[in-house]
């Protein structure tokens, strides 16, 4: 359990220390998920999942998600949990202590958000939603002292839409 936390911490440090800026997502991947929507949504590449990103988040290949260079926060699609779910294996592999769990509706699909405390400074939000035909998993990580980032990420997760 500690190994995964330290791996996560090392990845954040590596990203923070890089001299290059995060790659901005191309405009072609930013489209409205529904014709009724007026806001532009960003796509998790290779998925049907779209999100209205908080300010400062851009696509980053190294982080395999949307990354906020200023503070190291990440919002990413969790393909590993989706594969485990599809194989009828337990999808729960999150490290840390579960501190909160609440139901949520995402784009008309029932789901839940779980909050985990990771070590003394890390927070991870795990969002899962779907129906009998599919299940999607998105996770976000940030440091516990980043209260505004936490609010922004939670608000962004609530904007997720699925384009089928």
The residues facing 105 across adjacent strands are 110
- State yes or no: pLDDT of 72 exceeds 80: yes
Kindly report, residue by residue over 115-129, the tens digit of the pLDDT. 999 889 999 999 999
pLDDT at residue 156, as a whole number: 95
Going across the sheet that includes 57-60, the strands are: 57-60, 65-68, 73-77, 134-143, 122-131, 109-118, 97-106
With vertex at residue 142, the alpha carbon angle to CA 99 and CA 96, rounded to the nearest 5 degrees, is 35
Nearest to 130 by CA among 164, 96, 80: 164
The CATH-assigned architecture of domain 2-162 is 3-Layer(aba) Sandwich (3.40)
- State yes or no: pLDDT of 34 exceeds 70: no
Kindly report, residue by residue over 82-135, the tens digit of the pLDDT. 776 666 766 555 578 899 999 999 999 999 999 999 889 999 999 999 998 888
Domain boundaries of the chain, sorted by first residue:
2-162
pLDDT at residue 89, as a whole number: 66
Rounded to an integer, the average pLDDT of 23-34 is 38
- In the DSSP assignment, the letter for residue 126 is E
- State yes or no: pLDDT of 81 exceeds 90: no
Rounded to an integer, the average pLDDT of 143-161 is 94
Which structure tokens are listed for 33? 């998920």
């Amino acid at each position: 359990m500690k190994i995964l936390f330290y791996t996560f911490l090392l990845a954040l440090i590596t990203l923070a220390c890089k001299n290059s800026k995060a790659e901005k997502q191309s405009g072609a991947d930013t489209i409205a998920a529904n014709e009724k929507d007026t806001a532009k949504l960003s796509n998790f590449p290779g998925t049907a999942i779209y999100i209205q990103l908080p300010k400062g988040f851009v696509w980053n290949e190294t982080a395999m998600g949307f990354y906020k260079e200023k503070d190291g926060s990440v919002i990413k699609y969790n393909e590993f949990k989706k594969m485990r779910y599809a194989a009828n294996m337990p999808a729960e592999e999150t490290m840390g202590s579960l501190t909160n769990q609440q139901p949520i509706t995402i784009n008309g699909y029932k789901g839940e958000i779980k909050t985990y405390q990771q070590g003394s400074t890390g927070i991870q939000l795990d969002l899962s939603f779907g129906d009998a035909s599919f299940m999607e998993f998105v996770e976000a990580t940030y440091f516990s002292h980043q209260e505004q980032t936490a609010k922004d990420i939670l608000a962004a997760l609530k904007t997720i839409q699925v384009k089928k």
